Chain A
C-alpha cells in the first residue's frame, strides 16, 4: 500500500480520487436522486453520515473482526447506520425523505461505502479512517451537488426551488427525468477529462508525480 500523509487521506477523496467522477463508484444514487439540488444535498449528507459512522466504527473494531466474516460485519454496520439515517430524515425532513424514497435504504449497497471499509478503514487507525471518510464523503456530496445543480437549473429553471429565469425560459425537462442523469454525468465526465488532458499536455515536459487515476 502506498504511504500517505493524513492530509492526503483527507483531501484525495474530494477531487483527485473523487468517488463518483474519478472512481465511478456510487453511481446509482448519483444518477437517480440528483434531479434537484435539495435531493442531492440530502442524499450527499445521508451518505456522508453513513460513511463516517461506518468507517469510525469498523476501524475501531478492526482487530476483533475475523477475516472470514468481515464483509458481513461491514454490511451489518453500514445497514445499521442507514436505518438510523432513514429514521432521522423521516423525523426531521419528511418531504425530502419522501422524495428520496427507496434510495435511502439503498445506501446500504452503495459500493463506495463498502469499498472504503475494505480498502481503508479495516487497515488504518480510527483518526485516519475518519479523515478518509470525511474526504470521500465530501467528494461524493460535491459530485452529487454538481449534478443536481446542472439538472435543476437547466431542467426546471430553479435552484433549490427558487426560479432563476423569467417566464420565457423553456425547461429542458429531459434533464430531471432519468435519462438526464446519464446525460449530465456524461457531460461532466467529458469536461473533466478534457481539462485533465490539457493539464497533462502542459506538464508533458515535466511529468507530475500525481497522475489522475481513472477507474472507469
Chain B
C-alpha cells in the first residue's frame, strides 16, 4: 500500500522540501495545454451535430410561432430595408407564407439579459394588424421552478397569441383588459418582464423594415 501522506503521490517530495517554481509552472502549463487541446478536439468533433440540432430547433420554433405556415423565407434586414438576398451582416427574420404564397407574418429571434444569463426568444408577428402570432423561448437559464415558467407555463405563453404591440407588462390583477396587456408571472417578475422587453425592443428596431414589406407580397 502506498503512503497516505496528504501531499499526494507516493513519489512526491518529502515534507519540507518544496518543488521549484519552474516545476509548478511546467506542471500547470502542461496540464492546461493538454486540457485545451482535448477540448478543441471534442469541440471540433461535436459541433456539426450541435449546430444541426440548433438549426432543427430553430426550424421547429419558426413553424410553431408562425402557426404552421406552408413555407417560410429567410429575409435580411439592414436598417429600415429588407431584402431576400443573403447578407451575413444583416439581421435575419423569417417571413411565413400560406399555400397561395401570401405573407402571413414574420418570425423574429431576439434576446436580452434575464435574471440569469441571456434569454433568447422567437416570436411571430403580423405587421398589418400589429398582433403577435405566438412566442417561444429558445434559450434561457432562468431559475428552475420560478423563472423557467416563461417557457414552461403554457397559460403564460398562450397570452402572446393575438396580443397587440407594443406590449404592456402588468402585474396580475392590475390589468384593465386592454389588448396590449401581458400578465407578469408572480415570483418571476424579472424573467417575464424580460420577455416582454425583448419583444418590444425587437419590434422597435425592426418595425419600419417589417411594415415596409409585411402588407404586400414581395
Contact = CB atoms under 8 A, between A and B. Distances in A.
Q: Does A pair with B?
A: yes
Interface of A: 1, 3, 32, 62-70, 72-73, 76-77, 79-80, 83-84, 87-88, 90-92, 94, 101-102, 118, 122-124, 177-178
A146 B140 CA distance: 28
B28 to A, nearest CB: 5
A90 B53 contact: yes
B38 A84 contact: yes
A65 B8 contact: yes
A62 B53 contact: no
A41 to B, nearest CB: 18
Interface in B1-37: 1-13, 18-19, 23-24, 27-28, 31-32, 35
Contacts of B6: 67
A1 B46 contact: no
A88 B49 CA distance: 9
Contacts of A3: 1
A66 B12 contact: yes
B145 interface: yes
Contacts of B53: 90-91, 94
B50 A90 contact: yes
B2 A124 contact: yes
Interface string B55-75: 001000000000000000000
B144 A32 contact: yes
Given A1-B1, A90-B50, A91-B53, A63 B9 contact: yes
A101 B137 CA distance: 14
Contact of B12 (A67, A83, A94, A102): A67
Contacts, number: 94
Given A1-B1, A84-B42, A91-B46, A123 B31 contact: no
B141 A101 contact: yes
Contacts of A101: 141, 144
B117 to A, nearest CB: 8
Interface residues of B, number: 35
Contacts of B2: 123-124
A213 B25 CA distance: 39
Nearest to A63: B11
A64 B27 contact: yes
A177 B3 contact: no
A65 B27 contact: yes
Contacts of A102: 141
A178 B28 CA distance: 38
Contacts of B18: 68
A119 B180 CA distance: 60
Given A62-B9, A73-B28, A77-B31, 17 more contacts: A3-B1, A63-B11, A64-B9, A66-B12, A66-B13, A66-B23, A66-B27, A76-B31, A83-B39, A87-B42, A91-B46, A91-B50, A118-B8, A123-B2, A123-B3, A177-B145, A178-B145
Contacts of B42: 83-84, 87-88
B218 to A, nearest CB: 34
**B18, B39, B141 — which one has the most chain A CB atoms within 10 A of its CB?**
B39
Contacts of B24: 66, 68-69
Contacts of A83: 39, 42
A67 B31 contact: no
A151 B49 CA distance: 32
29 contacts: A62-B8, A62-B10, A62-B12, A64-B27, A65-B8, A66-B19, A66-B27, A67-B8, A67-B9, A67-B19, A68-B18, A69-B27, A69-B28, A70-B7, A70-B8, A73-B28, A73-B31, A80-B35, A80-B38, A87-B50, A90-B50, A94-B53, A101-B144, A118-B8, A122-B8, A122-B9, A123-B5, A123-B9, A178-B144
B18 to A, nearest CB: 7
Nearest to A117: B8
A72 B10 CA distance: 18
A72 B28 contact: yes
